[in-house]
Amino acid sequence: MTENDMKRYYTEEHEWVMPIGKDKIRLGITEYAAKELGDVVYVELPEADSSVSAGDEVGTVESTKSASVIFSPVSGKIVAVNEELEDAPELVNEGPFKEGWMSEIELSDASELEELLSEEDYAALIAELAEDEANAEEE
């Protein structure tokens, strides 16, 4: 694996994508999203071999607190889904960047990755959200 393969990109909706080869990414939700959701009890995944466009709904994560829709940040074809999540949805909480991944997408337009947030930009977003939350608690 090259260093670029380990690079993650993020969305403001708390999804992450990581290149895992030429024109293929792995998709999941971030640690922040998993923590905010609480204990995940159900994950609905997309159908393998289905086509998606950036912004399309590609699943749902349900927790003891709420449900959250997962959107694809990229366009392409779903080439794999993490079937382990059907029997063990808690993997999303235990390792959202590892065994809690949700699907793999073969990209139809790799340049879409450039429109996503870098790790630094996402960290700044999380810091801003934490600050807003702290300020709201003070009021």
What does the domain layout of the chain look like in residue ranges?
A: 3-134
In CATH, the number for domain 3-134 is 2.40.50.100
This prediction has a pTM of 0.89
Per-residue pLDDT of the chain (139 residues; tens, 9 = 90+): 344 446 899 999 999 999 998 899 999 999 999 999 999 999 999 999 999 999 999 999 999 999 999 999 999 999 999 999 999 999 999 999 999 999 999 999 999 999 999 999 999 999 999 888 888 877 7
Longest dimension (CA), the chain: 49
HEC string of 91-124 equals HHHHCCCCCCCCEEEEECCHHHHHHCECHHHHHH
Cβ pair 69, 60 in contact under 8 A: yes
